[in-house]
Amino acid sequence: MNNQELSIEEQVLIANYRQLCDEKLQLQIELNKVAQERDHYKSELEKVLEKPAE
């Protein structure tokens, strides 16, 4: 089925769906970056907490 067989409304819905999928992917990428950063800082904090007080 090509775009000429779809109504304008259907084409708009498909375009909106594709945009939402792209946005979801970008959010997942950003979430992964934040999670990696969180894990890094958590690891750093654990290292600091393990050191004996001087």
Residue 2 has pLDDT above 70, yes or no: no
What confidence category does residue 1 fall into, taking pLDDT thresholds of 50, 70 and 90? low
Measured distance CA(13)–CA(28) in Å, rounded: 22
DSSP for 1-54, please give it.
Answer: --GGGS-HHHHHHHHHHHHHHHHHHHHHHHHHHHHHHHHHHHHHHHHHHHSPP-
Model confidence pTM above 0.75: no
What residue has token string 């001087």?
54
Name the phi and psi angles at 30, rounded to 5: -65, -40
